[in-house]
Amino acid sequence: MGPLADYDRLPILIELSRLPERYLEVEGDIPNWLQFLPQFVTDQQSFSGIPSQLIIQAPRDGRCLLLFDGLDEVVHQQVRLRLIHSLTDLDRLSPGNRLIIGSRPAGVNESKGALQPHFKQCQIERFTPEEVQRFFA
C-alpha cells in the first residue's frame, strides 16, 4: 500500500441519503450499482467534461475509489441493510474497486452484523483542542 496505493483510481462520492427515492423506501428497489453509477455520476456537475465511457468502464474494471457516505442518514434500518447487501454484491461482482462506507457510529452499530463479515471497521478519532487550533490556523 502506501501514499500512491489508489493514485490510478477514479474517486466517486455517493451520498446515500441523496439516492433516488425508489432506493430509500422500505419496499424500494435494490440498486444495481454497475448500472446506476454511470448515470448518477454523469448527472453531477463535478464530473462534467469526463468522458462517459470512462465513467461506465472504470467501475466495471475495478478502477474506482467508491465513497458511500451517510449510511447513518438512511432513515430505515431495513433500507440500510438492503443497501449494505447491494454494496457487498458490488464488491463481489466488480472486485478491485475500493469501497468506503462513511457513517456516524449509530449507523454502524445497528448494522454491524451485515457489515462485519465484508467490511473492516475503522474509526476516526476526534481532534484534541490543540489539533483543532492547528487545523484552522
CB 83 within 8 A of CB 99: no
Tell me the pLDDT of the chain (137 aa) as tens digits: 555 566 788 899 999 999 999 999 999 999 999 888 888 888 877 777 888 788 888 988 999 999 999 999 999 999 999 999 999 999 888 888 999 999 988 777 878 888 888 888 888 888 999 999 998 98
Residue located via cell numbers 463479515: 117
What is the full DSSP assignment across 63-106?
A: -EEEEEE-GGGS--HHHHHHHHHHHHHHHHHSBTBEEEEE--HH
Whole-angstrom Cα distance, residue 99 to residue 60? 13
CA–CA distance, 112 with 120 (Å, rounded to integer)? 10
Cell of 27: 419496499
